[in-house]
Each structure stands twice: as structure tokens, then as C-alpha cells.
Structure 1
Amino acid sequence: MTITQLITFVFLGIGLSFDSFAVSVSCGLMRREIKFGQAAIVAGFLAFFQALFPVLGWFIGEIVKDLISSFDHWIAFGLLAFIGGKMIVEGVKKDGSLTNFNPFRLRVLIGLSIATSIDALAVGLSFGFLDMPILFPVAIIGFVTFVASMLGMLFGKNISAKRSHQSLILGGTILIAIGIKILAEHLWF
């Protein structure tokens, strides 16, 4: 593992965690009385699913990589650019409405965890296409998501909902930049 790979995985974890961060901010806004143990459960679910989905995507990518090895870097770039673009669009939306929900209900918690982890599935798929190792990036993604989710709930108690939209824009930009890096490495290096 090179320092460049480590930095890339950390930035990937940060980029992927912005959806979870935004959800956590919403949880903090809606449940300002949230206790540390409750926050840890919510963050744990979000981090677990965020770490699980790249593994699922990686297995799928490993199965089909030989079929698409000549253009896999374009697929990885396309997936990351699409996800990043989607996050930026969500961040730009000005609706800012928060519905009253209970993030401690298992059904809600699993739904939020899956919804915030779909992009991680695509990243795992990219890893499978590119024949990249999965365990270290998954550990980083899970850890970063847990920390970001805990911070999000803390911030949600203390900041306005407008900032959660800005975090989606930043996360989307990071994912697009990683996609460009992957494309550049395969085309020119």
C-alpha cells in the first residue's frame, strides 16, 4: 500500500460519508436530545452498510471484470461522476425540508443506511473492475463514515439545515475528482 493509495482511500471514505453525514445532521436537527449511545447506534448502522456495500459491489465487479477489462476505467469514472453529480444536485436543491422521523426505529435506520450506501456499491463495483484490494478501503470507509455520522449528529444539534446541503456538494465533488484520477491513471500512466 502506497501513501498515494492511502490518501485516495481516505478521500474516498470522506466523499462517500457525506450522505451519511447529511442524514446524521438531520437526525441531530430532529432529535436534539440524542444521547451518545443512541448516536453510536445510528452511526454504527450507517458505517456498517457503507462498508458492506463496496464489498458486494466488489464481488460483482470481480465476476464481470474480464468481460469489460478494456473499458473498465471508463465505467469506474462514469459511476463516480454520476454519483458525485447526483450528490451535487441534491446539495443544490433548496427545499431544505425535514420531515419528522424517528431514526431509532429499525426500519427507518435500515432504510437510511441503505439509501446512503448505494453509491458505495458503485464504488465497490469499480474496485472489482479495476482489480483493487477491498479490505483496507472498506475499513477506512466504515471508520470515516462512523466518525462523520457522529460528528453530523453533534453538528445537527448546533447548526442550520443549510450546511447539510453544502456537505453533499463537497462530497460529490470529491467523488468526481477520484473518478477523474482513476481515468487519468489508466489513460496516461
Structure 2
Amino acid sequence: MFEIRVICDPTDTDHVVAALDRTFTVGTVTVWPTRDRKQHRLYARAEHRSEPESWPTPEDAYALAPSIISEIGWTTRTVAGADCFTELEREFYLRKAALLDRIALLDEPDEPCGDAEENALAAATYLLDIDQAHPDFTVPDHAAMHPRGYVRQQYAAWHQHEQRSDHVTPDCR
């Protein structure tokens, strides 16, 4: 256990408390004005959060994935064949999120927080929302903090399942 002291603008107090709660296991946060009464002093006792399961690395998650060009083609053909987006299945949103994640990974060393990263995060968050609303999925609590990591985990599991399905030979009697 350790103690945290933060001095911040009063308008930032709620944001700081929320960030502390996302980052640590925090007890009650006590708020006092500074001596000049222009800022807030926040005091909290906290503990490190237990480390959740780690997400697959992009190299592990996408090791056997088709090329980016191939996935762009699949995504385009799937959208073109659908009457509307509500008819698309989870596989589409998973593969689209993984595709956008892979494109953002190409951009990350040069341009952090660019359009590619924003699009990848938006697609990952959409997939996460779909899965959280579905009764058959158990989404880890920490997935909301790492939506792109969640996409990698789900893509790796989906791809592994797809490969097993491809190797099943039909029973020919």
C-alpha cells in the first residue's frame, strides 16, 4: 500500500480521481483546498492493481493472418454483399478491427495518435461493445482499458478456431 497526493485545478478533480481509479486500487479520495484556495489537494491510499492477463503481441496474434491487402479485399467484398451493416456477423467486425489494428501498427512508429490509430481504436471499441452486449461472451474487466489488445486476443482465438475447422475432414460413410 502507498499514499498518493495530487494537487490539481478544481475542474480536473473528477478526471484525476477517475484516472487514479483506473490505474490503481484506490480507497476513498479525500479532497482539501490548497492554502490559497485556488486548487485542490487529493489524498488517497492505493495499491497496485494485480496484473491482468497479458494480451498477445501483434506478432503472435497476426502471425498466420492473411496479408493486409487480402483482408481489405475480404472486408470490401463482405460489405458489398450485405444489404445493411446490421446484417453483418461478428466475424466481420473482428476481422475489420484486426485489419485496422494492423494498419495502425504500421503507422505507430512515425505518427502516434494519427487517423489510423483512432480508426483502430474505434473499431476495437465497437467490437468490445458488441461482445459485452452478447450473453455468450465473457469480456475481461480490463478489456476496456486495452481494446486493441482485446482485438488481438479475439483474433488469435478466432484464427486458431478457423484453422482447426479447415482441417476437419467430413465423415464420408
TM-score normalised by the chain length of structure 1: 0.30
Q: Which has the larger radius of gyration?
A: 2
- Higher-RCO chain (CA-CA 8 Å, sequence separation at least 6): 1
Which structure has more strand as a fraction of its residues?
2
TM-score normalised by the chain length of structure 2: 0.32
